[in-house]
Structure 1
């Protein structure tokens, strides 16, 4: 069946007429800034979490690195897994706008909670962030897709612009929160992590206010379903979120292995539901769901190794990287901004390359394969540095810096393309649920990243030897996955029935 025939089988909803800014619907820029402040909040705490856990709850003992990495990985995994339920709530209960507002409020509360120096309150705060982000994150991305028709050539470009909003917030947050923690309210020896978490909470409140004021420009896109305009459903969802927070708290404490089984079961259940909906809509939609699920599996591999950026790479930067640059020490936190600077710098170039290549533009699965291969190249650089560039127990600053840059190229090949892919391949009635599946696969990768980080640190903390061994395994896993996806690309493209 052709793309046109497939489009006729599922009528595309009519879109409002939007004024444009720089060639894109004006609401895109409102969503851009909403996501900017949410990512400021999310990435504001990213650099500090594992360092804080070791310092606050393990008395600074390096033996706590493994536990910190596992907690960090489980937290990220549950953030993304919660997106399944957030997508479902938006699709069937609240609508996208109210889901975003409710999630922003809950997430802000969690960010303020983790500033309390108590392990139980800290973990309960992480659980609150998880539930709030689950309502927010998949639905803000889905809203971007709803601004464009399925055949609108601006669609991928719009997602790339949106992705730059994500990365501008992520770039500024570590620099600003590190400055507050070490220069204003603390010292190099004793950073004020509490201030990091409070500043991120304020950023989340700004995201909430920005979207609340700007949502009128959406002209009804993402509004509550017909007959559900009252506040009763908001109350029900809010109560459900309060009941879900203890569940997330329990899952954080179950251990990464148990969580891996739980997330795996969720992924299988989600895949079955999406496949059933695809079958209901016909052969073309069924095949597209299958293609999407295959790509989700490779997405797990990418994020398992990419998310070392917030765990094992942080310990690597703190202990094994020579950060002395002519008498000035490059802050560990600032490595978290390198990825974002690279994305902002390189995103227009990558987008231009895709357009310039025209009909030779790589297919979606081959772009994903490139993402895996670039990620593998970053690990190859780490292998080289740890095996032949160690001086006095340290590797050169530029090597880790370039690892983040190379990973960023891989991310640009994969992540914005993935967001757009879901809005094209998911069943029309379950686009939010499909976006939840994308984030669940990312979450599974993040949980595995915590297990992998613990493996690298071992029982006594990271060493040159343990890092070299661990990152060598990562290199081979990524290269093999990337080559395999390239080989499977023709089969996956056939299943996509003309979707580019």
Structure 2
């Protein structure tokens, strides 16, 4: 039976293309697997594998940063050879395998599993986000709202996963938590496959050049060669994660590659596209700064919750669901707000939204720092500050992250759309790399004063936290020293982030002009 494609293309659910519904649920389950594992990883290393804080932060930073550098490569491969659909399927299979192999407790499988997820995410993440962009024509006013709804799917998975996976890990063992994450990834793949079977994506995301794709070399077509190369790259990424102290060399290599390839693209596009592309790079840079601070969640904030927050009703791993839970609660109102303001012609320009996102992020971390003002005799701060701080930084995230996804699809030259989406995700590569450096500032080393305990930074720390670098309380000196190491870092980076946000708002008229009509 033939498919009436024009009818499918016009089908809508809640005022949006029907394909958004399937991408929403596919991403929900993929993020369930990703965030479920992420919530367990640092605690698994520090409590089960007995890694030091420094080593755990190093592995976590390397893993999380590489997860977001591979989308650049996956984007190029999708644009040139595979198309979005085949890339999403390949990525999903590799990620599911990675989660399942984490249940085997040997160093080879531990680092190999992380590498499988790194490679798989490179194929999955940029392509499913770009698929969302293809559902909307240029200038479609529903685009920002659509991406905010898609972002809700990401965070539904992110809210549920830490609660369930952490519960499974606590009751049945760590490996059952990882197993549940792998099952979530398989469900996401099945939802996406069902969408392709029902043709809800129309002709979007197919192989860009089928003749080129089917051309065989040594009996293998392009797709089969990509699968083989993807698997061969796994040991390389596993070694980078294991020997993460050398990751800064990769940062330099990735930076030189980015500069070179973006420079090449700038020579191939029109003046209008060139200006827009430069704005995409500016937004990506802001996002990298945002991520460096924001991604203390999952690393230092998880250990802060475990050691210095008076938790009620949940454990430290489950605190990773707080951010996503807030997004679930306020993402739809935000989506409705953007649509309402657009109708009233009062929607703030995206350049201003980015500045506001940075500002709210900084305020959230100031609240984490202020929690020390009400510390008890056990060096535990009230859980309220953790929850409220997450609310404020979540508002910042909704001003910046889903809007960034939306704008990148508009600002990118069509021929290079998926690569530029990969560049956008590279912000998380840089963000997580530097987030690891920030997290290491929170570690306590006997006999060493932290960088934020003296001088100008020390004054900021004491003003916001109410503690000094010599804070002790009877027999709990060590616990208070650990608390100070966390809140002093959060307070100072909160101030720095607020300043960046204010600067971004001040220069927004210049950015708006360069965007050539994109709002």
TM-score when normalising by structure 2? 0.87
Structure-2 change in CA distance of 1:272 and 1:289 (3 Å) = farther
- Which position in structure 2 is the counterpart of 1:214? 195
Q: Distance in 1 between matches of 2:248 and 2:431?
A: 9
Q: Distance in 2 between matches of 1:458 and 1:137?
A: 36
> Following superposition of structure 1 onto structure 2, how do residues 380-391 of structure 1 map, counting pairs within 5 Å?
380-391=366-377
- Which position in structure 1 is the counterpart of 2:117? 129
- Which position in structure 1 is the counterpart of 2:327? 343
Residue 469 (structure 1) aligned with residue 475 (structure 2): no
CA deviations 1:34-89 (Å, max 9, x no partner) are 11110110011111100001123226xxxx11211121111110000000011111
Preserved CA contact (<8 Å) 2:149 2:335 = no
Residue 360 (structure 1) aligned with residue 346 (structure 2): yes
Preserved CA contact (<8 Å) 2:111 2:239 = no
- Which position in structure 2 is the counterpart of 1:202? 183
- Which position in structure 1 is the counterpart of 2:102? 114
Q: Distance in 2 between matches of 1:235 and 1:104?
A: 16
Deviates more, 1:341-350 or 1:135-144: 341-350
Q: CA deviation at 1:214?
A: 1.7
- Which position in structure 1 is the counterpart of 2:239? 250
Q: Distance in 1 between matches of 2:82 and 2:230?
A: 13
Preserved CA contact (<8 Å) 2:141 2:339 = no
Residue 158 (structure 1) aligned with residue 139 (structure 2): no
From 42, 49, 56, the equivalent of 1:50 is 42
Preserved CA contact (<8 Å) 1:274 1:427 = no
- Which position in structure 2 is the counterpart of 1:427? 413
CA deviations 1:118-140 (Å, max 9, x no partner) are 22320111011100111101100
Deviates more, 1:313-322 or 1:50-59: 50-59
Q: Distance in 2 between matches of 1:124 and 1:353?
A: 44
From 505, 510, 519, the equivalent of 1:491 is 510
Q: CA deviation at 1:490?
A: 1.3
TM-score when normalising by structure 1? 0.90
- Which position in structure 2 is the counterpart of 1:5? none
From 93, 103, 126, the equivalent of 1:105 is 93
Q: Distance in 2 between matches of 1:440 and 1:268?
A: 13
- Which position in structure 2 is the counterpart of 1:86? 74
> Following superposition of structure 1 onto structure 2, how do residues 301-380 of structure 1 map, counting pairs within 5 Å?
301-324=289-312, 329-357=313-341, 358-380=344-366
Q: Distance in 2 between matches of 1:157 and 1:264?
A: 36
CA deviations 1:177-197 (Å, max 9, x no partner) are 1222223x1xxxxxx110111
Preserved CA contact (<8 Å) 1:19 1:26 = yes
Q: Distance in 2 between matches of 1:275 and 1:153?
A: 31
Q: CA deviation at 1:276?
A: 3.1
Structure-2 change in CA distance of 1:271 and 1:132 (3 Å) = same
Structure-2 change in CA distance of 1:150 and 1:278 (3 Å) = farther
Q: Distance in 1 between matches of 2:303 and 2:182?
A: 25
From 207, 220, 230, the equivalent of 1:224 is 207
Residue 294 (structure 1) aligned with residue 282 (structure 2): yes
CA deviations 1:105-126 (Å, max 9, x no partner) are 1111111111212223201110
Q: Distance in 2 between matches of 1:177 and 1:341?
A: 15
Structure-2 change in CA distance of 1:400 and 1:130 (3 Å) = same
* Count of residues in Structure 1 that have an aligned counterpart in Structure 2: 471
Q: CA deviation at 1:229?
A: 5.7
Structure-2 change in CA distance of 1:80 and 1:318 (3 Å) = same
Preserved CA contact (<8 Å) 1:106 1:131 = yes
SS in 1 for 2:427: helix
- Which position in structure 2 is the counterpart of 1:237? 226
Q: Distance in 1 between matches of 2:235 and 2:48?
A: 23
Structure-2 change in CA distance of 1:264 and 1:411 (3 Å) = farther
CA deviations 1:453-489 (Å, max 9, x no partner) are 1111234798112112211221122112111211221
Structure-2 change in CA distance of 1:302 and 1:23 (3 Å) = same
Preserved CA contact (<8 Å) 1:100 1:139 = yes
From 363, 376, 382, the equivalent of 1:396 is 382
Q: Which has the higher contact order (CA 8 A, sep 6+)?
A: 1
SS in 1 for 2:518: coil
Q: Distance in 2 between matches of 1:174 and 1:411?
A: 19
User: What 5-or-longer segments of structure 2 have no aligned partner?
Assistant: 1-5, 215-219, 447-478
From 14, 35, 59, the equivalent of 2:27 is 35
SS in 2 for 1:465: helix
